[in-house]
Amino acid sequence: MVLHKNSVTSESVAAGHPDKVADQISDAILDEYLFNDSSSRTAIETLVTKDNVIIAGEVFGPNIENSKIESIVRNTIKDIGYEHDGFHWETVKVNILLHEQSNDIAIGVDQGAGDQGIMYGYATIETESLMPAPIFYAHSILRNIMSMVKEVKLGPDAKSQITLAYENNLPVRAESIVVSIQHLEDLSQSKVKEIIYPYIASSLPKGWMCPKENLLVNPTGRFVIGGPVGDCGLTGRKIMVDTYGGYIPHGGGAFSGKDATKVDRSAAYMARYLAKNIVFAGLAERCLVQLSYAIGVSKPTSFYIDTFGTNTIDEERIKGFIEGNIDLSTKGIIRHLSLNRPIYKRTACYGHFGKKLESDGGFSWEGVDLSTDFCKEFNIEEEKREFL
């Protein structure tokens, strides 16, 4: 047998990264609108820079006072840990420029999808969460490091990047790892590396750690000035971090600040839900789902499944079952996944996919209830699924 080798790289960013600060603020405001009225519609954009936060976009829903929105902004920044000169939750200037949703857009939402777009969902047996291994471990490394940063005064701004070696389409080890993390002036590059090394190594399967010379920590040697003081942040600039790490195609639409009538968000969640259930049911080892929509049109303009030749059931049969049993209209997706609830701020960091279904319905698109229906339809004994 010919051994096929390649490598794949993905990155993650921490909650204190400027773009993620913006995402969290946008989703926190969205949650406030949904908390007050589940039929609210929002498209909220946030910009963060030195000493300033700007909130812009359109909303349809309850009248929420600017003072309340400002309080949400400050509390979000406080929770992230920014009490720094140049960006402090108490003193940052907050400029709110929200306006009512356009009637032209409202007509489209009432009739069908809130916009046109192409969305992708993916699942693979590479990890227990059915996520691609590179983005899974990029997130894991950073989450483990950031769990202890307050104790050693690192962060809150940080990034990770990992390159995994693949053999015959499965990951086998890390080839290189990069971590950049904000630190105090008196911490040397070598000391930062010493502090975070155990958290990196423990994030990976045994024997996967890259050679020490391939572990790069703060490659420039210094990362004292970080966050919005060092770099402007905007909502929606980390779409690969939010999804599958560049492992599959991306339609281009961001998530944060958008309610579920925007198919950029809701259809991407449904595509992941379908792909995950197909793999979890044992119908394929890998699955890519594509959905596309047109503004004002209820049903998808296209629906495509690709299992890369790993399927045990014909793709057309799988597709036919889904079309006959799942309402893929925007309203149908919102109902099926219960997306009209304030569950979005928690999605803004470390990816929207691969997390556990929560008791209040958060991350509903990670549920595997549909896999039972697949197993019944295709006569698969759930305890004897071939791949899991």
Q: What pLDDT score does 355 carry?
A: 96
Residues 160 and 218 in one domain: yes
pLDDT band at 295 (very low <50, low <70, confident <90, very high): confident
Q: What pLDDT score does 114 carry?
A: 67
Residues 357 and 378 in one domain: yes
Q: Is the peptide bond before 211 cis (omega within 30 degrees of 0)?
A: no
Residues 51 and 93 in one domain: yes
Last residue of a domain, one of 228, 250, 280: 228
Torsion of CA 131, 137, 141, 146, to 10 degrees: -10
Residues 104 and 137 in one domain: no
Lowest mean pLDDT among 130-134, 150-154, 161-165, 316-320: 150-154
Average pLDDT score over the chain: 93
Using the predicted structure, report yes or no on whether residue 286 has a pLDDT greater than 90. Answer: yes
Q: What pLDDT score does 130 carry?
A: 98
Residues 288 and 373 in one domain: yes
The CATH number assigned to the domain holding 98 equals 3.30.300.10
pTM of the model: 0.95
Q: If you search the block for the tokens 């919102």, which residue do you land on?
A: 334
Q: What pLDDT score does 2 carry?
A: 58
Q: What pLDDT score does 298 carry?
A: 82
The 10s digit of each residue's pLDDT in 101-120 is: 766 665 556 556 767 889 99
| Domain count for the chain | 3
Residues 156 and 37 in one domain: no
Residues 261 and 354 in one domain: yes
The residues with which 309 forms a beta bridge, in sequence order, are none
Q: What pLDDT score does 229 carry?
A: 96
Residues 283 and 370 in one domain: yes
Using the predicted structure, report yes or no on whether residue 82 has a pLDDT greater than 80. Answer: yes
Q: Give the percent of the chain with pLDDT over 90.
A: 88
- The set of residues, in sequence order, having a beta carbon less than 8 Å from that of 184 and lying 6+ positions away, is 153, 154, 224
Give Dmax (Cα) for the chain. 66
Residues 254 and 314 in one domain: yes
Residues 49 and 137 in one domain: no
User: Residue 89 is part of which domain span?
Assistant: 18-111
Residues 224 and 243 in one domain: no
Last residue of a domain, one of 228, 253, 282: 228
Q: What pLDDT score does 149 carry?
A: 82
Last residue of a domain, one of 197, 228, 259: 228
Q: What pLDDT score does 297 carry?
A: 86
Q: What pLDDT score does 382 carry?
A: 64
Torsion of CA 9, 272, 14, 164, to 10 degrees: -20
Residues 306 and 350 in one domain: yes
The 10s digit of each residue's pLDDT in 153-211 is: 899 999 999 999 999 989 999 999 999 999 999 999 999 999 999 999 999 999 999 99
